[in-house]
Amino acid sequence: MKKLVLLAAAALIATTAPALAQKKKPAAPQGTQRIAAVVNDDVISIRDLIARLKVIIVTSGVPDSLETRKRLAPQVLRTLIDETLQVQEARRLNVKVTKAEVETAWKGLEKQNKMPPGGLERFLRQKKIPKETIERQMHAAILWSKVVRQRVRPRIRIGDEEVSDVIEQIEAGASLDQYRFLEIYLPVDNPDQEKQVLDNANRMAAQIRRGANFQVLARQFSKSETSRVGGDTGYVSSAQINPDLLKALEKMRPRTMAGPIKTVTGYYILALLDRRRQGSTGKAATVAWRAVSFDAGGEEAKAAAAEREAKALAASAKSCADLGSLAKKHGGKAGPIQKSTVSKLTGDAGIALKTLGKNAVSAPLKSGDKVQVLMVCERTKGGNTPSRAQILNVLAREQINIQVRRYMRDLRQGAFVDIRV
């Protein structure tokens, strides 16, 4: 029965939507004033649903037909429900959006679509889409991004060792390929919903193959952190890609798509933009470094003095050339410049050398009856090895996705949601 009601609602949407486009300020048809869903104390109307459907159909390039509306209506309604929950959570946390922030987002959308100033508003008028529909979606997206920054990002902790481990895997691996792709991620939060999620993913993939705009659908429906940029992951090393996705990407050519692809947490649709291969360079990352040692054997006072002098040297050293004279001044002994492959560095010294930038000095390291400080003299990257910042961003994105999914699951479980179509 539920399915029949939803299809009836889709038919209503199909018949009432053209009426919205007839006049500049039409009176809402009686059917559009009906309630599509109640979310706690807020109402989503049929009118809201129609307007969002029209935005997606016009901007994504899917055919505007009764069949398309039947297929999209349930997905769009779920998106509107999630947005409503997000806005309510922002309201609870007293998070607000300024007019300037919405205007900046508006200009950004124009720029992204290569429109001149005022071009987006003219486009909406031509397509008979209410401006407030886009503004409402922008408002909700900005609010939620602020909530995520306030409540989720502070809980994300990624240590230098984690980043170094990824670099080591990349450097030691046989393949250092990097992939840039678009993704649409549809999570399965409840095993009972898996068939429904898979059906939605199959329909979305079919629409894209028939010419629908991947990035528009990603912005509207993907539950990944990348949805705000149309699903664009940027370049990601093969060592950081989910094995199920990597298996598909390895078989793809640029400008092709694949999916739905099942993973432990849900389904992905992918579109490969580019692949960069390391093969022509074949270089491993290296680091040149120099150590200064202090005698810390015997009495406890001597060890404390050695650590004190090591810290003083570290605070004043500017380059590896300084270390010889500074070592004498502080009672230490400077060793020669050494060069190592990053992937072969081990122990506390290895961790320090993997994370330090050029001319940076480590904290004092205790080893037996010695205290050492290490300085990086030079560093070379291997092939297409991504930077530490790129690796950190990918690791953070993965953790944010997990935390946001849990956040939304808790909001849904604690909410009163009454779907009436």
Question: Do 75 and 202 have their domain in common?
Answer: no
The residue segments making up the domain with residue 140 are 2-153
Question: Do 345 and 318 have their domain in common?
Answer: yes
Residue 217 domain-assigned (yes or no): yes
Residue 162 domain-assigned (yes or no): no
Residue 412 domain-assigned (yes or no): yes
Give 206-211's long-range contacts (Cβ < 8 A, gap of 24+). 207/60, 207/62, 207/68, 208/257, 208/269, 208/271, 209/257, 210/62, 210/63, 211/61, 211/62
Question: Do 37 and 103 have their domain in common?
Answer: yes
The CATH number covering residue 39 comes to 1.10.4030.10
9 band by pLDDT with thresholds 50, 70 and 90: very low
Kind of pairing between the strands at 333-334 and 178-187: unpaired
Q: Which of 105, 125, 153 is the last residue of a domain?
A: 153
Question: Do 277 and 308 have their domain in common?
Answer: no
Cβ-contact 95, 79 below 8 angstroms:
no
At 329, list the tokens: 């001044």
Cβ-contact 201, 267 below 8 angstroms:
yes
Residue 168 domain-assigned (yes or no): no
Question: Do 264 and 411 have their domain in common?
Answer: yes
Q: What is the pTM of this model?
A: 0.63
The CATH number covering residue 359 comes to 3.10.50.40
| Main-chain phi, psi angles of 409, to 5 degrees | -60, -45
How high is the mean pLDDT of the chain? 81
Question: Do 64 and 149 have their domain in common?
Answer: yes
Sheet containing 266-276: order of strands: 232-237, 178-187, 266-276, 256-262
Question: Do 224 and 299 have their domain in common?
Answer: no
- Please list the residues that pair with 365 across neighbouring strands: 372
pLDDT tens digits, one per residue of 186-238: 988 778 888 888 988 998 898 899 888 898 889 888 888 888 888 998 888 78
State the Cα–Cα distance between residues 113 and 136, nearest whole angstrom: 19
Give the total number of structural domains in the chain: 3
Q: Cis omega before residue 260 (within 30°)?
A: yes
pLDDT tens digits, one per residue of 147-180: 999 999 888 888 777 777 777 666 655 446 788 9
* Residues whose CB is less than 8 angstroms from the CB of residue 165 and which lie 6 or more positions away in sequence, other chains included: none
Which residue spans within 172-214 are E strands per DSSP?
Answer: 178-187
Closest CA to 222 of 205, 243, 241: 205
Q: How far apart are the first and last CA of the chain?
A: 11
pLDDT tens digits, one per residue of 361-376: 888 888 778 888 888 8
Question: Do 368 and 397 have their domain in common?
Answer: no
* Residues whose CB is less than 8 angstroms from the CB of residue 354 and which lie 6 or more positions away in sequence, other chains included: 160, 164, 167, 168, 287, 342, 345
Residue 248 domain-assigned (yes or no): yes
Question: Do 188 and 314 have their domain in common?
Answer: no
